[in-house]
Chain A
Amino acid sequence: MTSESLLDASGVCKSYGPVAALRDASLTVGPGEVHALVGANGAGKSTLVKILTGAVRPDSGRILIRGRDRKVHSPAEARRSGLVSVYQEPALIPDLDVADNLRLTGTPVDPFMKWVRALGIDKLDLFETARDLPLAVLRILDLARALAIEPDVLLLDEMTAALPANLAEKVLDVVRRQCETGRSVIFISHRFLEISALCDRATVLRDGETVGVVDVEAGVEEQIVELMLGTRTELGRAAGKPQQSAGDRRPEGETPRLRISNLGAGTKLEDVSFDLQVGEVLGVIALEGQGQDELFGVLSGSRRALTGKIEVDGTEARFRHPADAIRAGLVYVPSNRVDALLMQRSVRENIALPFCAGAWGPIDMAKENVRVDGAIERLQIDTRAQGEVQRLSGGNQQKVTIARWIATGVQTLLCFDPTRGIDIRTKREIYSLLRELAAQGSSVLLYTSELEEVQLVCDRAVVIFGGRVVDVLPADIANEPTLMRAAYGLPREVSSDAIPGSAPAHGASGIELGPA
């Protein structure tokens, strides 16, 4: 097998500090094969891609290209050894025209143009600046540029994500033809439809390990989802999780804290509608890049919506600045703490920051002490490392970003993957805190990349795929397999344990939620 495969990577490991991104990943691609690489968020796909293309060096492992050991140390070397990749983001330099971009990478123009035409773009001005071209065209040009080099192995990362249907069809066509000449393609996609239409085999990654290689045939989706889930260790239910969800307790006809109708923003968020009730923790589940960043951006006031409307407590709201959202009671906790913290300043100043935004005058230190100390105690922030926030641990830093809003008396907390990269103890503390807040009448919108968190903290979960709500599930049926299927846009499985006798009516389907 090894001798005849084009690419053979085995035992690839990579750790970033204490975090193992890849434990034991392998990937074997035969000649003339379209090979899918799949895995949930954080499974290690992107790390493996970066290693294959030479952007990141593995800690251990072996990569053979055409049976020869290749130490790939840079994208240029990977390219010379016959592996070319097309990334999710356009790779042309925006301020150069197309011709200059080609010259920069030494791409021959004639084959490039041939591929551009084959990919369905008839008119292309080589002297147009890349910045002025639409995103879909840029993706096509990236692909044509890769094809023009005639690579042995072509790596496509979410190639069809930004493409309209007709161009996507052309791309799949070209990929198929590419393989007829004995070349191979590694195809990374969240779309099972494309995978089953195009790919021969699929390698499934979970928690940094290759957990299976399957032949793509009818019904393979189930097999892949199962592999992606595996048997995962239970985190244990968070303290204070009510058996009854807030949705059930809510009296009929009460205005929701937040009603989102047909919201669209940027290129990814197309049409999302849902309600967030008073006292509810609502999970948002989505694969990477399905529009969740845009959704939280709009709700937190850092981005403008293109379509749709937001109602807070029954009144329509429009946010031009995070300050507007905060005034309406919507506060944002980003996953990346670097975005939210003043790293060189003290815990106190970080927590008190939202107050200073509105009050420039002298600070009542006694009052501030009470508020800050209260928040620190409630979140049990370890302040032994006095002084700068950058000296705190990651978990404690994340607590500071939340404490800031606890101190102000939060109404609606927008949490974007707040437990990413923090330890289990802090995770549990954050879960209990979110439940406590909900019990006290606050509402929480929680985007999470860890599916188990839905049943640990949420009352319901909204699943977004391709910029649209594809399902709304009450927490009691939102187990990992169900969520995973929904997140991949698959229909809900009707199995015996998944039929909720007591499911709230509003949780049955996302389509019913949107205003007609």
Chain B
Amino acid sequence: MSTGTAVAIPIGRRLRRFLRDQPLVPLIVLLVGLVIVLEVLRPGIVNERWIANTIKFAIPLAILASCQTLTMLTGGIDLSVGIVATVSAFVMATQVTTHDPAIAIAISLLPAILIGLANGIGAGVFRVHPLIMTLGLSLIATGGLQVYQRTVLATGSAIPDSLAWLGTGRTNGVPNSLVLFVPLAAVIILGLRRTGFGRLLYAIGDNENAARLSGVRAWQVIVVLYALSGLLAGIAGLVYVGLIKAPSLSLAVPLLLPSVAAAVIGGTSIFGGRGGYGGTIVGALILTVLTTLLTVLQVPEGARRILFGFIILAVTAAHVRITEDS
């Protein structure tokens, strides 16, 4: 208890406070660090083409992770995004053989919104925990997709040129998917800060009772939120199928856990009330680079997954430790 320490804020605390106010800084440092490690291990790998590829793969993940960010801000989660994205992609690919691409895309987003709406009604009106609700609907949607597949066995599938252009194409070296993603990300980031709806997500996640006392009808917000999450997942599915070009019944399912991880690494609290989409985007980029890194190291598949899991846990734990108040 010397007077020196009592007056001056300790550097550790100051650093924590800075990191807490600027949560993006350590994430960007980590991202750059990973890229440097990659470049050191495989000199010359980091070029324009590699960067464009990384961005192309990060974008569908980042869109899916936006669903987690938005729902986690209210203290929820959306575990149906993997299958919802798959449903959209599959329905679009089968409908496009008989319909105009624009109409096929519209049709394919409909089930995505409906599943989201059902999630929202379950979580908001009937107060089923979002974890259970969205997991339950994933199961239903998986079954529904299999039933649907039987009815379209004869039609075959295709990827419209527009989606292929969006998913894989580059213009002057810049991935075309940025055309969709940049405005989308801007809307989400600004929407969270500068719209009543965005503020309410934070409010509900921070203190639902306080929000209630201020006249917020939380269930309405929750219903709209999960419907929106479904729509975003559907869009992610369309972008992803444009990139992978092979619709299947489990297309985007493996992206589910990384989407949660991207949001968590990005600094969104799973308990609600804290976080933002900027961090999530960086989180998605980190995960994509990490995947490349593990591939380049030629780690066998099993070990790669083990490492991947450990790294996600370590980064998350470190992040929580740094940014929580001590």
Contact = CB atoms under 8 A, between A and B. Distances in A.
A363 interface: yes
B172 interface: no
A343 B195 contact: no
B206 A354 contact: no
A334 interface: yes
Contact of A357 (B195, B207, B209, B216): B216
A361 B224 CA distance: 13
Given A342-B210, A345-B202, A357 B215 contact: yes
A344 B274 contact: yes
B199 A353 contact: yes
A319 B12 CA distance: 50
A365 B217 CA distance: 23
Which of B196, B212, B214, B216 has the most A CB atoms < 10 Å from its CB?
B214
A505 interface: no
Interface string A280-320: 00000000000000000000101000000000000000000
A275 to B, nearest CB: 25
Contacts of A300: 213
Contacts of B242: none
B25 to A, nearest CB: 16
Given A353-B203, A356-B203, A340 B194 contact: no
A87 interface: no
Main secondary structure of the interface of B (DSSP, over half): helix
Nearest to B196: A356
A413 to B, nearest CB: 13
Interface in A324-373: 326-327, 332, 334, 338-345, 349, 352-363, 365
Contacts of B213: 300, 302, 322, 332, 334, 339-340
A343 B207 contact: yes
Q: Interface size class for chain A?
A: 20 to 34
B21 interface: yes
A309 to B, nearest CB: 22
A355 B217 CA distance: 13
A439 B24 CA distance: 49
B323 to A, nearest CB: 11
A68 interface: no
B215 A341 contact: no
A80 interface: no
A404 B216 CA distance: 14
Contacts of A327: 215
Contacts of A355: 196
A323 interface: yes
Interface in A353-399: 353-363, 365, 387
B197 A353 contact: no
A321 interface: yes
B132 interface: no
Interface string A402-415: 00100000000000
B200 A357 contact: yes
Contacts of B212: 302, 321-322
Given A339-B213, A353-B203, A344 B195 contact: no
Contacts of A360: 195-197, 200
Contacts of B216: 323, 353, 356-357
B326 to A, nearest CB: 14
A323 B212 CA distance: 8
B276 interface: no
Interface string B33-69: 0000000000000000000000000000000000000
B18 to A, nearest CB: 12
A339 B210 contact: yes
Contact of A349 (B202, B217, B274): B202
7 contacts: A340-B214, A342-B210, A344-B273, A344-B274, A345-B202, A357-B211, A363-B196
Interface of A: 300, 302, 321-323, 326-327, 332, 334, 338-345, 349, 352-363, 365, 387, 404
Q: Which 7 A-B pairs have the closest CB atoms?
A: A356-B196, A323-B215, A342-B206, A360-B197, A357-B215, A326-B215, A357-B216
Given A321-B212, A334-B213, 11 more contacts: A300-B213, A338-B207, A339-B207, A340-B210, A341-B207, A342-B206, A342-B211, A353-B214, A357-B196, A359-B196, A363-B195
